[in-house]
Amino acid sequence: MVAFSLGHGHFAYGASDVVVDGETVKADERRARGVHANAAMRVDPHLGNTCLSDITGGSAVFYHTQVKLVKA
C-alpha cells in the first residue's frame, strides 16, 4: 500500500511575489517545497489532463490511482 497525505503538499502558492491592489505581497520560498498528489493521480482517459471524478459528488477520485514502486 502507498499512502500520500494531501495536507502536506502544494503547488507553490505564495512562493512568488504577487501584487494585489498595487501592494506587493512578499513570497515565502518555503512554499515552493513539497509535492502534491495531483501530479501522480490517474487522469480521465476521455478528458486528458483531468483527474478521475466521482460523478455523484463531483470530487476527485483519490483511491483509483495505481503506482509502481521502483528502488532508487
Contact 61, 54 (CB under 8 A): yes
Q: What is the DSSP letter of 14?
A: T
Grid cell of 36 as nine digits: 502534491
Instruction: Write the pLDDT tens digit of every residue in 22-50.
Output: 999 999 888 777 766 766 777 778 877 77
pLDDT of residue 7: 58
* Domain positions in the chain: 9-34
DSSP string, 21-70: TTEEE---GGGG-S--GGGGSPBPTTTSSSB-B-TTT--B-TT-------
Cβ-contact 14, 27 below 8 angstroms:
yes
pTM: 0.37
